[in-house]
Amino acid sequence: MASVSESPPNPSFRIRGTSTTTTRNNDNNNRTFLSRSISTKEPSFSEFPYTPPRRTSPSLSHSLHASPVSSPLHHFAPPTSKHYYPDHPHHDPHTSYRCISSVLKKDGQILSMASSNGLLYTGSETNVIRVWKVPEFSECGQLKTKASMVVALQVSNDMVYAAYGDGKIRVWQRSWDGGLKHVRLATIPRSGSYVRNYIARKDKMVKHIGPITSLAINVADDILYSASVDKTVKVWRISDLKCMETIQAHPDPINAIIVSDDGFLYTASDDATVRVWRRNFCRGDQLPHSLTVTLPAKYSPVKTLTLTPDGGVLYGGCTDGYIHYWLKSWVSGQLQYGGALQGHTHAVMGLGNVGKYVVSGSADSTSRVWSREQDGQHSCLAVLVGHRGPIRCVTAFSGRSSSGDETAEDYNNNNNEYGCTICTGSLDGVVKVWRVTSAVNNNNNSNNLYSTPSGCDYFEL
């Protein structure tokens, strides 16, 4: 195992503490310090000793919307330490952001998210998948099964795929005739598939022997991929829901997978690497998928992935709090290491991106919004604080919120604004919606924001 000194340089970080009138150790600083986790083996989400609050009255969900958690930003006096944040020289002083909605249901931990066509799907440790309209974030439906723990979600072409704790994938079809409807179609693998494959003596099992961790869809080739802690990726043909191939992808559990538009499959594992796979269309002895390159992630297990729509930048969130990224050369087509985004103090558990924004959710209970510049550099625009447990999943999409909580400041210079809406799901059982807006050539700085000397905005809810 590599020593800690081999990882990227890591300045100390400080988070704001609360002042008290009495203290046992006569600490004159009155601040709490949080050092970066150096563990290379963070526990999985199921091992976090956190129990989310349960709703005890029908009014609790509504009260969260009216509470300060979803109110406009609050002022506070940030610390003056020059090491409070890493240096972000490209910070945009005209970026504003705020929490516009916060919802707590009786679902326990939020484990998965997916968005499509103005709808957000959230999965939890119960047997319920909730459907929300965005950006107004109003619940418009539920998907229920006998199985519980929705660990992964994917939506494509009005088809909803959900992986559960029992190692199976349920499929729904979405329709809009006479209103939004979801019809249950099938369960993967189908009943009796294992028996048929055993009789046929095929060298592949149709069911994962460990929990599923991630799903990905190759729309062009009509393929669904599922990854598992059993170190394999299974390839399912969507047309008949049959298992076409089992890829022995990594020597350690696989945490995340993603597919690019050109058909490349990216797999992230506890072995601290990201592997890139190409699908082959040749017949004969050649395997359907072959390994093209292995990308090392600086000795830290990779827990989550996201890829820009053009496939130009791949991001991997790791257990040491770093987000490593690789840039695709438009000449050779190869991925080259671009650097690491530092700021989180614990494992990065969720990543998402839209436009020039990259969103990260961490076990440190914060979410960060990063801006990718044209020169390839990144800057931290915002640190979203409000969850009381590790953030398991994030998703981001363009579009302005139509919530009644919007203020006039959110609509200044409409012709010169761009931004995104962010949803975060946490093990505290709460789903939050945030709005990030950047105004171009706007000289009116928002009074709601405080910019630290290092150039990164921070606020407390």
* 412: nearest Cα among 387, 380, 446, 388: 446
* 438: nearest Cα among 326, 317, 360, 356: 356
Judge whether 288 and 307 are in contact, CB under 8 Å: no
* 153: nearest Cα among 169, 175, 176: 169
Q: DSSP alpha helices (H): ranges in 45-154?
A: 59-66
Secondary structure string (H, E, C) spanning 175-189: ECCCCCEEEEEEEEC
DSSP-derived secondary structure letter, 134: T
Per-residue model confidence (pLDDT) at position 152? 97
Per-residue model confidence (pLDDT) at position 132? 95
The residue extents of the domains of the chain are 71-119+215-458
User: Tens-digit pLDDT profile for the chain (461 aa)?
Assistant: 444 444 444 433 333 344 334 444 444 444 443 344 444 444 444 444 454 444 433 333 433 333 333 223 333 333 332 223 343 333 456 678 889 999 999 999 999 999 988 899 999 999 999 999 987 889 999 999 999 899 999 999 899 999 999 999 999 999 988 889 999 999 999 765 554 555 454 545 688 999 999 999 998 899 999 999 999 999 999 999 899 899 999 999 999 999 999 899 999 999 999 999 998 876 655 578 999 999 999 889 999 999 998 899 999 999 999 999 999 988 888 899 999 999 999 999 999 999 889 999 999 999 999 998 888 889 999 999 999 999 999 999 886 543 334 443 443 334 345 778 999 999 999 999 999 887 654 443 333 333 333 344 443 33
Architecture of the domain made up of 71-119+215-458: 7 Propeller (2.130)
Reading the block at residue 455, the tokens are 């150039």
